Amino acid sequence: MSHSPANDPSRGTRAKTDRIDAELIARFVAFRPDAGRTLPHGKLRLLRALTSKRAQLVKTRKRLLGQIKAQGKLGSTEMFAAMDEDFKGLLDRQIAGLEAQIEDIIAADASLAMTADILRSVPGIGPVASTMLIAEMPELGQISGEQAAALTGLAPIAHDSGAMRGKRAIGGGRRLLRHVMFQAALVASNHNPVLKIFAGRLRAAGKPHKVSITAVARKLVTIVNALCKSSQKWAVPES
């Protein structure tokens, strides 16, 4: 079964469109989700495996905490308290172990360490987000801000048919990285002096929370891409 350029899942697009402008075609053909990742070197492959396993364990821990909370409402917390505590302790240790391995790999490579320092200099980008950016988007700093937003699935896509006709929505790209950038955007909206003002303007304009956070995440990606391109750390722009 063939796919039209407008609906090829390999390009990270999900919506059928009657007409896609040349800019969008160029973006997703030249920078499809697997661009630049065909044969990553050993350290990036290892980082990707470690970050993926960490995310899996964090998700399991979150699910466990939810179950513990539910048991509390049912009055059955004591019945499984020791078992749950042991399981949570195991997950905590495994997650900490993976994070230590990740930090060791980055610290042992001068190029990765420099990129991590640049990324972590941006308020809102912590160890998890910086590692995910390094592992999942090795193109960072070698592409335009718009292309970086497209690769993370944060660039708005126009819909020319169906119920979404005339509207724009994000989609495609690298889903796990997009999720991490949403979390980073939540932090940046409160602690990054530039993006806090930006988020405040969006809220004042009546933008829905999800729209505001998406816009902050998109701007955050373009900022870190620009910093990596210029090999400079974050600095608050002079007014």
Query: DSSP letters of 13-32?
Result: --S--S---HHHHHHHHHT-
Which of the listed residues 52, 73, 108 is the one where a domain comes to its end?
108
Q: Which of 71, 87, 108 delimits the end of a domain?
A: 108
Q: Are 92 and 70 in a shared domain?
A: yes
CA dihedral sign of residues 82, 87, 92, 94: positive
- Which residues span the domain enclosing 218? 117-239
Instruction: Looking at the structure, tell me whether residues 56 and 91 fall in a common domain.
Output: yes
Per DSSP, the three-state class of 103 is: helix
Last residue of a domain, one of 108, 130, 155: 108
Read off the DSSP letter of residue 238: P
For 233, the 3-state DSSP assignment is coil
Q: Is residue 211 part of a domain?
A: yes
Number of domains comprising the chain: 2
Q: Are 195 and 220 in contact (CB under 8 A)?
A: yes
152 and 67 in a common domain:
no
Q: Are residues 127 and 183 in the same domain?
A: yes
Residue 43: predicted pLDDT? 86
Indicate whether 77 and 183 sit together in one domain: no
> How many C-beta atoms lie closer than 10 Å to residue 125's C-beta?
26
Tell me if 10 is assigned to some domain: no
Residue 5 belongs to some domain of the structure: no
Are 121 and 102 within one domain? no
Tokens 């499809």 correspond to what residue? 32
Query: Could you list the pLDDT tens digit for every one of the 239 residues in the chain?
Result: 444 444 433 333 343 333 333 344 344 434 444 444 444 578 888 999 999 999 999 999 999 999 998 988 877 778 888 999 999 999 999 999 999 999 999 999 999 999 999 999 999 999 999 999 999 888 899 999 888 888 888 876 544 455 444 454 445 557 788 889 999 999 999 999 999 999 999 999 999 999 999 999 999 999 999 999 999 999 877 65
Within-domain flag for 14: no
Note whether residue 158 is domain-resident. Answer: yes
Does residue 143 sit in the same domain as residue 214? yes
Beta bridge partners of 169: 157
Is residue 31 one of the residues assigned to a domain? Answer: no
Q: Are residues 65 and 152 in the same domain?
A: no
Which among 58, 62, 39 has a CA at the least distance from the CA of 50? 58
